[in-house]
Amino acid sequence: MGGTLFDGLFDGLFDGLLDGPATKCSTDQRQSERSMGGDVTVRVCTAADLDLVLGAATKDVTRRHHRERWDMQTAGQAIYLVAWRGDEPVGRGTVLRTSKYDSVVEAFGPVWEINALEAFNQGQGIGTRLIAGAEAVARGVGSKTIGIAVGVDNDGARRLYERLGYEDWGGGHVVDEWSERDEHGTPTTTHRDLCRYLMKNLTGRPLTSGSRVP
Ligand SMILES: CC(C)(COP(=O)(O)OP(=O)(O)OC[C@H]1O[C@@H](n2cnc3c(N)ncnc32)[C@H](O)[C@@H]1OP(=O)(O)O)[C@@H](O)C(=O)NCCC(=O)NCCS
């Protein structure tokens, strides 16, 4: 079903990188790894995965989100990452092929960007694994940078991103405009969230050093 512009591009990219532990370990180790997300795998959503996430979703709004993100992937605009614990979807995030924000694109070009990141259970390392997956996607296409917008009042998420090496891009706030939609895809409510914008240089250099060409 529905090939994408990215077909084959990420084959094997996640092998061994994001898989949970395959070796035997004690209950204590397992609990500790669980809290670090060690039993979580992250992969690019496939048609079979889409059926699973749609089946597991309990709300229409969640099902609409999955379909919308799948359509973006099929259209070549994004990569849709889903985090799994066994057969259970435990998180999701979209990696946009280019930033949503004009000011970012003007300064950095078409930066790959993490969007709509969510861990269905928080504080278990799922977000950290999704971010690692998004960075693997960006590296896989040769990008030197990746960005993310975070609400000005979302201190917990910002702390996580900074711990993972993201830093303020230096160009001021951005406004994340997004709409809630009804079952026909018609926007019902439009949100405009004031956000900080953070970027990471994936080559390990500081953001200011030679990373302005993605
Ligand atoms: C932000 C989010 C994706 C992080 O994923 P996560 O799986 O909870 O994060 P991890 O377990 O990998 O890392 C834990 C860190 O996440 C951050 N965090 C943010 N919100 C948190 C929450 N509600 N509970 C626990 N940790 C949270 C903290 O920095 C925490 O580190 P700390 O223990 O030093 O405080 C997740 O908390 C989430 O879905 N939040 C709601 C939606 C959201 O805000 N998305 C981000 C949009 S930019």
Q: State which residues of the chain have pLDDT below 70.
A: 1-36, 208-214
Asked if 98 and 110 touch (Cβ cutoff 8 Å), the reply is: yes
**pLDDT of res. 214:** 43
* Per-residue pLDDT tens over the stretch 25-48: 455 555 555 566 779 999 999 999
Nearest alpha-carbon partner for 175 in 104, 79, 72: 104
**Which atom from ligand 1 is nearest to the alpha carbon of 122?**
8
CA of 166 to the centre of ligand 1 (A): 14
- Residue 81 has which token pair? 């990452």
Residue 135 to residue 141: CA distance in whole angstroms: 10
pLDDT given at position 184:
84
Calculate ∠ Cα 12-129-16, nearest 5°. Answer: 30
122 CA distance to ligand 1 middle (Å): 6
Q: How far is the CA of 117 from the centre of ligand 1 (A)?
A: 10
Query: Does residue 89 sit in helix, strand or coil?
Result: strand
Proportion of the chain above pLDDT 70, given as a percent: 80
Q: What residue's CA is closest to ligand 1, atom 6?
A: 127
What is 27-201's CATH number, 3.30.1240.10, 3.30.160.270, 3.40.630.30, 3.30.390.30?
A: 3.40.630.30
Mutation to probe ligand 1, out of 122, 146, 161, 173 (largest number of atoms < 8 A from CB): 122
pLDDT given at position 26? 55
The domain limits of the chain are 27-201
> Whose CA is closest to atom 1 on ligand 1?
157
What pLDDT is stored for residue 29 in this prediction?
A: 55
pLDDT in tens, 126-148: 999 999 999 999 999 999 999 99
What is the whole-number distance in angstroms between the Cα of residue 80 and the centre of ligand 1?
19
The model carries a pTM of: 0.86
Question: What was the pLDDT predicted at 72?
Answer: 97
Q: Which residues line ligand 1 (CB under 6 A)?
A: 37, 117-119, 122-128, 150, 154, 156-157, 159-160
Taking the centre of ligand 1 as the mean of its atom positions, its distance from the CA of residue 4, in whole angstroms, is: 30
Q: What is the pLDDT of residue 206?
A: 77
User: Which secondary-structure segment (H or E) carries 198?
Assistant: strand 187-201
